[in-house]
Amino acid sequence: MAQIHIDYNQILQLEKQKRVHLINSLGGFKSVALVGTSDKNKNTNLSIFSSFFHIGANPPLIGMIFRPSPPERDTMRNILDTGFYTVNHINESIFKKAHQTSARYEKGVSEFDATGLNSEFKNDFFAPFVAESKVQLGIEFKQKIDISINNTMMIIGEIVQIYIPENCLFDDGFIDLEKANTITCSGLDSYHKTLQLDRLSYAKPDKEITSLL
C-alpha cells in the first residue's frame, strides 16, 4: 500500500476547503448527534454536531466543541441562556434530515419544522428531545472553557436524563448502540452504520484477551 506524506507546510498551503475536509477526516470516525435547545420563549432549535467526547462517568460528563462566533451560534446561546440541552443519537432513518439541520435558516425558523423532525418534551425537561431518536440524553450545562488558540469553545454538561431502548442495555451497563441503529460519521459529510467486530475483556499484562460476546 503506497502512502502519501503531507507535511506541515503542505497542510498550510492547501486550498481552504480541501484542508477543512482533510483535517476533519483525520481524527477517525466521530460521535455525531443532534443537539436540541429552546430559547427563553420556548422557541426550539436543532443542530447536528460531531465533536462529542466522554469526560467522566462520576459525575456523568460529556463535552463538545463550538466553532467561533460570529456568526451567532443559536445552540450555544440557548445553552448559556437556559442551562439545558438534549443530545439525540442519529439513526439510519433520519441521517439526511439530521444533516439538513446544518443549513443556515433564517432567524425564527426552527430546524424541527424545516426538516420534519419532531420535538418531544418529557419529564419536565426544558429542552426538546428528537422524537425519532432512540437514544436521547437530557444535559445540564456545567462549564464553558474558552480555547484561546483558535477561539473555539468547549461546553461541558452533566447527563441528567437518559432514554435508551430497553433491549439495548446489557447487565454490565454497556449499551448496544448498533442494535439502537446509532450511526457514526467521518469528515464533514460522510455517514456510516457499523458492524461489531467484538467486545474484548479487560486487558491485563499476563493474560490473553478474550471475547465478551
Q: Please give the residues from 69 up to 88 whose contact with its own copies meets the rule CB under 8 A.
A: none
The closest alpha carbon to 99, from 35, 64, 48, belongs to 48
Q: What mask of x and - would describe binding to its own copies in positions 22 to 41, judged by CB under 8 A? A: xxxxxxxxxxxx--------
Rounded to a whole number of angstroms, the minimum distance from the CB of residue 111 to its own copies is 10
The residue assigned the cell 438534549 is 86
118/188 with CB nearer its own copies: 188
Measuring CA to CA, how many Å separate 186 from each of 7, 17, 69, 206? 22, 16, 24, 36
Site for its own copies in 129-188 (CB under 8 A): 134-135, 137, 142-143, 145, 147, 149-150, 152, 154, 156, 159-167, 169-170, 172-175, 177-178, 182-184, 186-188
Rounded to a whole number of angstroms, the minimum distance from the CB of residue 171 to its own copies is 8
Rounded to a whole number of angstroms, the minimum distance from the CB of residue 116 to its own copies is 13
Chosen residue from 39, 42, 54, 116 binding its own copies by CB under 8 A: 54
Measured from the Cβ of residue 138, the count of other Cβ atoms closer than 10 Å reads 23
28/40 with CB nearer its own copies: 28
Considering CB under 8 A, how many residues would be counted as binding its own copies?
115
Residues of 14-23 as b/e, b for ≥16 C-beta within 10 angstroms? eeeeeeeeee
Residues of 70-102 as b/e, b for ≥16 C-beta within 10 angstroms? eeebbbbebbeebebbbbbbbbeebbebbbbbe
The DSSP 8-state label assigned to residue 139 in this structure reads E
Does 3 bind its own copies (CB under 8 A)? Our answer is yes
40/120 with CB nearer its own copies: 120
Hey, what's the cell of 173? 451497563
